[in-house]
Structure 1
Amino acid sequence: MSGIELASRQGRMIVVATVLGSGMAMLDSSVVNVALVRIGEDLGAGLADLQWVTNGYLLALASLILLGGSLGDRFGRRRIFSLGVVWFAVASAVCGLAQTPEQLIVARLLQGVGGALLTPGSLALLESSLRVTDRAKAIGAWTGATGIASIAGPFLGGWLVQYASWRWVFGINIPLAVATLWVTRVAVPESRRDRVEGRFDVGGAVLATATLAAATVALIQSASLGAAMTVALLGLAVVLGVAFVLVERRTEHPMVEPSLFADRVFSGANLMTLLTYAALGAMSFFVTLQLQITVGYEPLLAGVASMPITVLMMALAAKGGELGTRIGPRIPMTVGPLSCAIGVAWLSFVDASDAGLAGYLTAVLPGLLVFGLGLCLLVAPLTSTVLAAAPEGFAGVASGVNNAVARTGTLLAIAALPAAVGLGSDYRDAAVFSPGYQRAMLVCAGLLVLGAVVSWWALRAAPAPSSGAVSRGTLRG
């Protein structure tokens, strides 16, 4: 039987390498929101700058993640994974040394490029290196270990911001990258697709990036650009998006296979992904700011406050996948977003009167728990449904598309919502921020309800995914 045995020393080290690499990216994404308020204070950043600190990373990651997976298949998965780790670490160091908001934003864009090279390679290395019979167990170990990174992220980030500096939120990536590179070099064999046909879809990658960039600039900078320029940029984004679709339909080897979207279940699940992850990303952005600006939490407490969601995901997400296998995805993917919407609506009432333990237990924690339970219902069936709807041989492409759609939803929501709810450069004033926060949370609840409606309509004929698909789908959270 070909492949490396998981129980061997080399097999265990392969898992360690992939956990360190993906855990580094996951840790970074989970701690930056906690640091935003201190970054704004230290660098004199406005709200638009803070939006770009988050969205610069997401912009590069969402538009290039499929290209990153293709590079690994062609030039070697270990090589591209290692390149992504080095790139991510160097960009992290530049983030930590930034002296202006503009420098930090550029560094975050570069960090997103590294993430796009690194992220697809993590599970690909497990799939290509280990024995077929050991892969499910290895993916389970990967899931548990990266889940620990998700739990540790807010706590570690909050501690670093509060007792050291926000710069160490990025600096912590450097020793993690060194460890990842060493283990990868020692233990991970090189692998690539045996036969790769066609050229890279460079045109598709450029158009996808330009589309998202034009929309993001228009939404974030609308106040300074004025109405005419904002509308012009949004129009340009639409034109570029149409051009992207046309290029993907006509190119021989497209980055995104258009035929996948002919399936109503696949298209509906991805539309639901866009809406749900838009709400999830915006909720996380606004709640973390509200807890610090209005309620008065220190960074450490603000980071720890959201940990119940991650704990629930680790404990119950697999159960949600099992439920989807038994009864089909339609009910979990409808009830899940509705539960999340109720949790978000509850959290919209969090204000300055909820300081202290009593306020957390009565106002913050219940909303987080209801939201987390909804996520547990929907995450695994969502990804599993996307994989099950894809034709044979397209599971990897389908997963990549779904990941890109999720990050695009977060990107656009964080770009659009602050201006839409009336927030501007005076965001540090709790009297201004709190009403905008409440409006933003209600919009997020509406997006989740709309996601539930889409699921109920699109998935009425969707079959229950196989247990194998569910095991892969649980990685999404």
Structure 2
Amino acid sequence: MATVALRSTEGRWIIVTAILASAMAFIDATALNVVLPSLQRNLKASGADLFWVLNAYLLMLASLILIGGSLGDKLGRKKVFMIGIFIFILGSATCGLASSATLLITFRMIQGIGGALMIPGSLSLISSSINENERGKAIGTWSSITTLVTMGGPVLGGALADAGLWRYIFFINVPIGMIALFFLWRKVAESRDKDSQKGLDFPGAILIAVGLAMLTFGFLRMPSLGFSDPEVYGSITAGLLLLIVFIVVESKSSHPMLPLSLFANLTFSGTNLLTFFLYAGLGAGMLFLSLNMVQVQGYSQLQSGLTFLPFTVLMITIARFAGSLADKYGPRLFLIVGPCLAGTGLLMLSFVKQTQGPAEYWTTFFPGFLVLGLGMSFTVAPLTAAVMGAVSDHLSGTASGINNATTRIAGVFANAVFGSLAVLFFSAAVQKEIKTLPLDPQQKQAVIAQTINLGNAMVPESIDIINKKAVVKMYHEGFIDAYGKIMRMSAGLGFLGGLMALIFIKSRSPQKKIA
């Protein structure tokens, strides 16, 4: 289809609508991390429930986002985009009304279905509609502005949670979504791949959805049951087998939701590997930072949200500029240095121990946030531009879907694997220290049982007031120990992402596009 200039009237409306819809999903994700402590108390949710609240959405998103991108290419990107926004609005409204953790998990799945249709549409519209020589700049604009509102999510979430209004994190999506739908209807032209005669890969979607669900379930049950339990190793084994079958099915399908031929392009393969490692590390890091600050370090949820502002400022000022430079010089250097800087920031944050709260923020957490923000600012726009630039315009929806699916799958595994490891690390630290306390075996067992709730672990009522302070101190030190280990592992994933760029992106300019 014919493309338009970024500064044209049509080009501006494409960017505006893409930003509005993307912001709705991204605000929801970042704000939710901050309100988790309030949500956990209000719904009486366990630590495992919290990870399922996150993963229920990510699972549906990861499993269906590829088919969402393909539907947009075939049926019309604008049409599928609008359907996704409507379903996302519906899911958000029901999440806000949920009266239990189980209901919230169920309604988050509806949100995930909407997101799978909605999220690929934003980048697909940009990549298929904006002139090629301005595409990196357009994606940089999208990245910087969506990051601005996205990183405003923690501030908004913290303010609402402190006021006892955490449910409005979901309700706020309704007006944003309605505005996006209106502008799409009135201002944006339809875009589709007119040559696409492909069917839909329902077997592939079912295999990857069930496979990821089984893997995640197994990892989430591991802390309480142990790997030797059949429910755990059986789920993990079944999940891995289903994902292997998924790859086999995709290799033989005439209309795969994951065209394996795309990965013949080293740039496309490398950037998706980079995406997986970097966003797995970033997702785990951001989650445990929020829990640590509120549940252990004594920050209010609003103060916790405000700590992300340096990250936001850097993204606003640098991301668009980095996108323009990547257009001119190629993305390779940015994609090597950026993830390594992000990994360095996470590593710095891992060494923060017990602090005196917000008064010490500038000398404890701030330096790590600064380096992390610089790394992500130099990475986001060049990474997205490299992915979308590696394929022809008619595959833009599929490429966007694959890269977004990679991001969400990274989130699923980060939450599942690091969530399980955090409980194991926390429990091990508590079991080591509890030996020195004058408690009977039943009391010790009750104290250890609380570790499944991570930073929200409560001192059992059977513990007398003399030992209560000692148990609280032990919980805090144990959680910080687990937090440090998780953050260092997250940092390693950031460095691994930079290594993927070094290995796979060989030249300044992208490889020949895949048709």
Scaled by the length of structure 1, what TM-score is found?
Answer: 0.88
Do the aligned residues in 2 keep the contact of 1:317 with 1:379 (CA within 8 Å)?
yes
Evaluate the alpha carbon distance shift between residue 378 and residue 23 of structure 1 in structure 2; reply closer, same or farther with a 3 A threshold.
closer
1:162 Cα offset (Å):
1.4
Give distance in 2, aligned partners of 1:325 and 1:188: 25
Deviates more, 1:107-116 or 1:193-202: 193-202
1:76 Cα offset (Å):
2.8
**1:66-215 alignment, distance < 5 Å:** 66-126=66-126, 142-215=142-215
Q: Alpha-carbon deviations, 1:89-112, whole Å to 9, x = none? A: 111111111111111111111101
SS of equivalent residue, structure 2 residue 340: helix
Out of 293, 296, 301, which is 1:291 matched to?
293
Give distance in 2, aligned partners of 1:26 and 1:140: 16
- Where in structure 2 are there 5+ consecutive unaligned residues? 427-450, 458-475
Which amino acid in the other structure matches residue 229 of structure 1? E
Evaluate the alpha carbon distance shift between residue 324 and residue 89 of structure 1 in structure 2; reply closer, same or farther with a 3 A threshold.
closer
Give distance in 2, aligned partners of 1:235 and 1:340: 33
1:299 Cα offset (Å):
0.8
Do the aligned residues in 2 keep the contact of 1:40 with 1:50 (CA within 8 Å)?
yes
- Where in structure 1 are there 5+ consecutive unaligned residues? 470-477
**1:297-376 alignment, distance < 5 Å:** 297-321=299-323, 329-357=331-359, 359-376=360-377
Q: Alpha-carbon deviations, 1:317-343, whole Å to 9, x = none? A: 344445656765454333333322221
Q: Does 1:451 align with 2:453?
A: no
Which amino acid in the other structure matches residue 345 of structure 2? G
Partner of 2:430: none
1:397 Cα offset (Å):
2.9
Q: Alpha-carbon deviations, 1:360-386, whole Å to 9, x = none? A: 101100001111222233333433443
Give distance in 2, aligned partners of 1:136 and 1:440: 34
Larger radius of gyration: 2
Q: Does 1:415 align with 2:405?
A: no
Evaluate the alpha carbon distance shift between residue 425 and residue 82 of structure 1 in structure 2; reply closer, same or farther with a 3 A threshold.
same
1:15 Cα offset (Å):
4.3
Do the aligned residues in 1 keep the contact of 2:73 with 2:395 (CA within 8 Å)?
no
Q: Percent identity of the aligned residues? A: 39
Partner of 1:231: 233
**1:212-291 alignment, distance < 5 Å:** 212-226=212-226, 227=228, 228-291=230-293
Q: Alpha-carbon deviations, 1:227-251, whole Å to 9, x = none? A: 3321111111111111111111001
Which amino acid in the other structure matches residue 507 of structure 2? P
Give distance in 1, aligned partners of 2:343 and 2:131: 42
Do the aligned residues in 2 keep the contact of 1:62 with 1:404 (CA within 8 Å)?
yes
Which amino acid in the other structure matches residue 284 of structure 2? A
Do the aligned residues in 2 keep the contact of 1:296 with 1:352 (CA within 8 Å)?
no
Give distance in 2, aligned partners of 1:350 and 1:178: 42
Do the aligned residues in 1 keep the contact of 2:72 with 2:397 (CA within 8 Å)?
no
Give distance in 1, aligned partners of 2:142 and 2:266: 32
SS of equivalent residue, structure 2 residue 507: coil
Cα RMSD (Å): 2.9
SS of equivalent residue, structure 1 residue 352: coil
Give distance in 2, aligned partners of 1:418 and 1:6: 42
1:192 Cα offset (Å):
3.0
Do the aligned residues in 1 keep the contact of 2:329 with 2:509 (CA within 8 Å)?
no
Do the aligned residues in 2 keep the contact of 1:387 with 1:399 (CA within 8 Å)?
yes
Do the aligned residues in 2 keep the contact of 1:68 with 1:117 (CA within 8 Å)?
yes
SS of equivalent residue, structure 1 residue 425: helix
1:116 Cα offset (Å):
0.9
Do the aligned residues in 1 keep the contact of 2:85 with 2:181 (CA within 8 Å)?
yes
Do the aligned residues in 2 keep the contact of 1:60 with 1:112 (CA within 8 Å)?
yes
SS of equivalent residue, structure 2 residue 452: coil
Evaluate the alpha carbon distance shift between residue 395 and residue 138 of structure 1 in structure 2; reply closer, same or farther with a 3 A threshold.
closer
Partner of 1:426: 453
Deviates more, 1:396-405 or 1:61-70: 396-405
Evaluate the alpha carbon distance shift between residue 112 and residue 353 of structure 1 in structure 2; reply closer, same or farther with a 3 A threshold.
same
Partner of 1:473: none
Evaluate the alpha carbon distance shift between residue 82 and residue 265 of structure 1 in structure 2; reply closer, same or farther with a 3 A threshold.
closer
1:191 Cα offset (Å):
3.7
Q: Alpha-carbon deviations, 1:4-55, whole Å to 9, x = none? A: 8877877655544333222211211121101101000111111111111111
